[in-house]
Amino acid sequence: NQLFKSLNWIADQIRSGKRDFLALENEARGQIEAAGFKPDYVTVCNSKTLEMAAEDDEHITVLGAMYTSAARLIDNVSLG
């Protein structure tokens, strides 16, 4: 589904060295909207604290939720 694709896209970008988490979150929300869905949230967090990830964090979780016409979907992808 689109949420899974967008969260994995962020994970791939982080693995390739990109660390502008806000820009990645915004791009993923745009991907979800472009696919015809309503994003609820997309956020890059420290896996242990679930606070906003810092550039030097090694353990990162990408969290997201979106609305379809019938349901609210949630998912996450962890790195590190």
Q: Does the structure show a pLDDT above 90 at 80? A: no
| pLDDT tens figures, 40-70 | 999 999 999 999 999 999 999 999 999 999 9
CA–chain centroid gap for 69, Å, is 21
Estimate to the nearest angstrom the gap between the alpha carbon of 75 and the chain centroid.
Answer: 9
Going by pLDDT thresholds of 50, 70 and 90, the confidence category of residue 28 is very high
What confidence category does residue 24 fall into, taking pLDDT thresholds of 50, 70 and 90? very high
Q: Say what the pLDDT of residue 70 is.
A: 94
pLDDT tens digit sequence for 67-77: 999 999 999 99
Distance of CA 44 to the CA centre of its chain: 6
| 79 vs 28: CA distance, rounded Å | 17
**What DSSP letter does each residue of 15-44 carry, written as one string?**
HTT---HHHHHHHHHHHHHHTT-EEEEEEE
Residue 64 zone, left/alpha/beta (φ > 0; ψ -120 to 50; rest): beta
Task: Report the chain's mean pLDDT, rounded to a whole number.
Answer: 96
